[in-house]
Amino acid sequence: MNRSQVVAVIFVTAASFMGGCSRTSSSAPSATKSTAPERPVYFRVDPSAAGTITGKILFTGKAPVHKKIDMDEDPLCAKLHKTAVYDDTLELGRKGAVANAFVYIKKGLEGKKFEPPAEPVTIDQRGCWFEPRVIGMQAGQSLKAVNSDPVTHNIHPRAKVNREWNQNQPEGAEPAIRKFAYPEVMIRVKCNIHPWMKAWIGVVDNPYFAVTGADGSFEMKNVPPGVYTIEAWQEELGTQEQQVTVAASGNAAADFTFKGDAK
């Protein structure tokens, strides 16, 4: 084979190799782009147009007779109290003010998604008693259950829409952190060890809720203008609803009166 023939063979071989590489490259699957999950779009209230809803919950009728709580079945619980403890299912203040009633916007916020608060809501077990008795929180927000007593407790939210759970908490145990994914009004909370311990949790999909104080009053701030249905719940008296209109930068009132025969 002469010199020109050798050069020709080398040229053909190199071309074949380069062609093979080109075909391999063109047939390689293209890299797929990873798609990150979409972030939820939360509704933001215009503070310049936001309003306030205030109100008071009252009771008319014969005040109930509070029953004494017998804690003698757990002497450690009994020792935590110097005076008698009475049932507070219906706690009334001056002039029939209803404490521990849960009030929230039930309708009027459809289509708006609100970001759950980052800080948890705390329920404590102190004096063999749940504190506070009524709690409001947003779906997706954390519930922090604490045991401040020198005895073992059990926290057992009897959820129906959300997942039911219960957890023992011995003395000095770490707080239990849980979430409720869906709105649910109301969730009854019990202690499987101490049957007199009761509490309630109202889980809603918006930040507009309140628990009445000793004077029966409540307030919801930063409410966008609109027409809303407000519901008031009390564990012994039942529920009531009324409609309010919040004008831009305005105030709306929603007062409720429960009668003694209400359920």
Three-state DSSP state, 55: strand
Q: Calculate the average pLDDT of the chain.
A: 89
Three-state DSSP class for residue 161: coil
Whether residue 133 contacts residue 200, with contact meaning beta carbons closer than 8 Å, is answered with yes
Residue range 65-111, pLDDT digits in tens:
889 999 998 999 999 999 999 998 999 999 999 999 999 999 999 99
Between 9 and 182, the higher pLDDT residue: 182
> How many CB atoms sit inside 10 A of residue 32's CB?
6
The third-level CATH classification (topology) of the domain covering 38-73+82-114+212-263 is Immunoglobulin-like (2.60.40)
% residues pLDDT > 90 (the chain): 80
- Find all residues with CB under 8 Å of 82, minimum gap 6, and list them: none
Closest CA to 123 of 113, 131, 115: 131
- DSSP letters spanning 117-154: PSSPEEEEE-SSSEESSEEEEETT-EEEEEE-SSS-EE
175 neighbors 145 (Cβ within 8 angstroms): yes
The CATH class of the 115-205 domain is mainly beta
Q: What are the tokens at 33?
A: 């782009």
Q: In the prediction, which pLDDT does 120 show?
A: 97
Same CATH topology for 38-73+82-114+212-263 and 115-205: the answer is yes
- pLDDT tens, position by position, 39-49: 889 999 999 99
140 in helix, strand or coil?
coil
**Structure tokens of 26?**
């063109």
Within 10 A of 204 (CB to CB), how many other CB atoms are there?
21
Q: Are 116 and 140 in contact (CB under 8 A)?
A: yes
Contact call for residues 230 and 243 (beta carbons, < 8 A): yes
Sign of the CA dihedral with 125 first, then 55, 207, and 234 last = positive
Structure tokens at 260: 């003694």
3-state secondary structure string, 218-261?
EEEEEECCEEEEEEEEECCCEEEEEEEEECCCCEEECCEEEECC
pLDDT of residue 44: 94
Asked if 228 and 163 touch (Cβ cutoff 8 Å), the reply is: no
- Domain locations along the chain: 38-73+82-114+212-263, 115-205
Contact 254, 242 (CB under 8 A): yes
**pLDDT-derived band at 14, boundaries 50, 70, 90:** very low
Tell me which amino acid residue 144 is.
K
What would the pLDDT profile of 147-181 be if each residue is shown by its tens digit? 999 999 999 999 999 999 999 999 999 999 999 99
Asked if pLDDT for residue 263 goes beyond 50, the answer is no
* pLDDT attached to residue 50: 97
φ/ψ of residue 10, rounded to 5: -60, -40
Distance CA 152, CA 193 (A): 8
Model confidence band, residue 222 (pLDDT cutoffs 50, 70, 90): very high
Q: Which two tokens stand for residue 139?
A: 């779906």
What is the distance of C-alpha 145 from the center of its chain?
13
